[in-house]
Amino acid sequence: MEEKSLLALVEKLNQEHSLRREEWEDLIRYRTPEVSERVFSRARRWARCYYGNKIYVRGLIEISSFCRNNCLYCGIRRGNPNAQRYRLTKEQIWDCAQRGYELGFRTFVLQGGEDPGFSDEQVAQTVAGLRARYPDCAITLSLGERKKEVYALWYEAGANRYLLRHETADPRHYARLHPPELDPVYRQNCLWNLKEIGYQVGTGFMVGSPYQTPENLAEDFLFIEKLQPHMVGIGPFVPHHDTPFAHKPAGTAELTVFLLALLRLQQPNVLLPATTALGTIDPKGREKGVLAGANVIMPNLSPMDVRKKYMLYDNKISTGDESAQNLANLKQRMADIGYEIVVDRGDWIGPQGLASTGRARI
């Protein structure tokens, strides 16, 4: 396909924020360095338009490495006998949040496997405790698939946001990444339920997961257009040595940042993290993500002694600049590329936000 036609598709996406299925496929399949550069520059303009040069940080607390599920790509799947298991108490979680608050974090993300040992009521109590201590903070949960009434219970307890990647919108691809008992339709319904309850909702997918095709990715973009999430988290697939996908090749930073930028053009006001997985496969992954339109970073606030146990994939970074304790370094790295880390809840800005900020449309 000619580069000229691809560049025309980029301009169409930039203006209409939507493409047809085969247009997504073409853009992804035939991308060239010049097309990527055009996508990046348009994506940066949209991110600046809504969020200026601000980068939001979220303090990530990994609350449990137990999981009842057996996703084929995941290092803490229940079928991995070598995974190191831990579960934080609610007091430990509150302590993490306190350290984060002192460091300037105003959003806490509680993430974990689907751990039957952490009851719905215990999660609600943990959230309620955080809400009482930090009324000015956003509380995000990322605890997998639950019944609608459980999501509602946690929302009532004070949670504001929920992250649940749909993983892949193509059911046949989903079936190659997950055991048969996991149902992509149920998972997508969870996202609709979360929205209905009132959560700010994040979805997402892995880039370069085994068997993934441009057709699958086009399906992901179409699903995201339908869902209209507040946040989209994507990161490269990175294999874990104790899983059935141990020998599958990792996704690339190049495709990940290209897709990040396409997401920014599709959803100009979406919250878009430069993920840990991107920082794991490329030491400059965070910077590349931000320069492709990402505006969120989630440093690790978990207790030091458990960080190495939450090993979703090999070599996952959790110390150094990935650590919440090293925020100063991260600030410097962002300043070096012209961005500023801010102490802020970092809420999603609706389309009306442009009018209220007085920024011009581009």
Contact residues toward ligand SF4 (CB under 6 A) are 67, 69, 71, 74, 76-77, 113-114, 144
Task: Calculate the CA dihedral of residues 227, 35, 359, 54 and round it to 10 degrees.
Answer: 80
256-295: string of b/e by CB count within 10 Å (b at 16+)? Answer: bbbbbbbbbbbbbbbbbbbbbbbbbbbeebbbbbbbbbbb
Which CB, 83 or 272, lies closer to ligand SF4?
Answer: 83
90 Cβ contact partners less than 8 Å away, ≥ 6 residues apart? 122, 125, 126, 129
CA-nearest of 59, 58, 65 to 306 is: 65
Give, in order, the Cα–Cα distances in Å from 124 to each of 92, 130, 155, 158: 15, 10, 8, 8
Q: How far is the CB of 74 from ligand SF4 (least distance, A)?
A: 3
Query: CA-CA distance, 141 to 73, in Å (whole number)?
Result: 21
Which CB, 76 or 274, lies closer to ligand SF4?
Answer: 76
Cβ-contact 92, 129 below 8 angstroms: no
Which CB, 13 or 281, lies closer to ligand SF4?
Answer: 281
Which CB, 113 or 289, lies closer to ligand SF4?
Answer: 113
Q: How far is the CB of 77 from ligand SF4 (least distance, A)?
A: 4
Q: How far is the CB of 231 from ligand SF4 (least distance, A)?
A: 17
Cβ-contact 299, 59 below 8 angstroms: yes
Which CB, 153 or 311, lies closer to ligand SF4?
Answer: 311
Which CB, 43 or 67, lies closer to ligand SF4?
Answer: 67
228 Cβ contact partners less than 8 Å away, ≥ 6 residues apart? 267
Which CB, 36 or 142, lies closer to ligand SF4?
Answer: 142
Residue type, 248: K
Give, in order, the Cα–Cα distances in Å from 165 to each of 110, 184, 187, 312, 355: 15, 11, 9, 14, 30
Q: How far is the CB of 144 from ligand SF4 (least distance, A)?
A: 5
111-350-97 Cα angle (round to 5) = 30
Q: How far is the CB of 107 from ligand SF4 (least distance, A)?
A: 21
Which CB, 170 or 287, lies closer to ligand SF4?
Answer: 170
Q: How far is the CB of 274 from ligand SF4 (least distance, A)?
A: 20
Residue type, 104: G
Half-sphere exposure of residue 207, counting CA atoms within 13 Å on the CB side? 23
Q: How far is the CB of 302 from ligand SF4 (least distance, A)?
A: 15
Q: How far is the CB of 165 from ligand SF4 (least distance, A)?
A: 9
